[in-house]
Amino acid sequence: MKLGPIALMHKFSAAVFAVLKPLGVWGVGGLALLDSALIPIPGSMDSVIVGYVHNEPHKFLLFCLMAAGASTLGSLIPFYIGRAGGELFLLKRVDRARYERMRDRFEKQEFVAILIPSMGPPPTPLKVFQFAAGVFEMRIGPFLLATFLGKITQYLVFSLLTIWFGPSLIHDIRAVVRDHRSIVVGVSVAVVLWLAFFIVRKVFDRRKGELLPSEDA
């Protein structure tokens, strides 16, 4: 029986997973690189990290650094796809005025727009945000930094929870997210908005009484 493209992709990723998983920290890096570069692995990188950390908890920081670094490197694939032809792709689906509004909104908060999704576990549509970063020509330095900080935070949280409470807690959390996705997304959005407001307010308060750079002359 002839397999379709999606079935072939799943078969290929499963074969790669079987080859790389026994390679320890290098396997973590290889799987994270592929997963972030548009070749999804079976399950998710969170599950992979949990498995490795559960077996070798003393190496949790090494696993997290390798996975975050490889994920950041792999994120350049959707980023450069967006930069190469994403504008034409979007303009076929939205008019120029709406495209300009989307770009303006993204540019005002581009670092946070990559950092927050990078922290989120599946089904967070991270590649969509990375594609958008390429389309709207985000600078490569802030893009890589935001991606790395988000992924290292995500992997550290999952690793520490695994060490403290065991892998069963992670599976329970994932089940709750799956069964109550709308509630979890709503709460997450509220928390992110509150944090953004808090940070902006702190920056504003810190600048009270200070002259803006253009007013120093």
Give residues with Cβ within 8 angstroms of 132, minimum separation 6. Answer: 82, 86, 102, 106, 113
CA 150 to chain centre: 6
Residue type, position 39, single letter: I
The answer, yes or no, to whether residue 160 has pLDDT greater than 80, is yes
From the list 46, 106, 115, the residue with the least C-alpha distance to 82 is 106
Considering only residues 146 and 17, tell me which one the structure prediction assigns the higher pLDDT: 146
Percentage, residues of the chain above pLDDT 70:
68
The answer, yes or no, to whether residue 145 has pLDDT greater than 50, is yes
CB atoms within 10 A of CB 19: 12
Tokens of 128: 């969509």
Give residues with Cβ within 8 angstroms of 80, minimum separation 6. Answer: 134
Residue 158: C-alpha distances to residues 5, 52, 65, 70 (Å): 32, 11, 13, 17
pLDDT score recorded for residue 71 = 93
Considering only residues 179 and 90, tell me which one the structure prediction assigns the higher pLDDT: 90
Mean pLDDT across 163-183: 65
Cut 0.75: pTM above it? no
Residue 216: C-alpha distances to residues 17, 81, 210 (Å): 58, 42, 10
Q: Domain coordinates of the chain in residue numbers?
A: 5-207
Mean pLDDT across 193-211: 55
Percentage, residues of the chain above pLDDT 90:
18
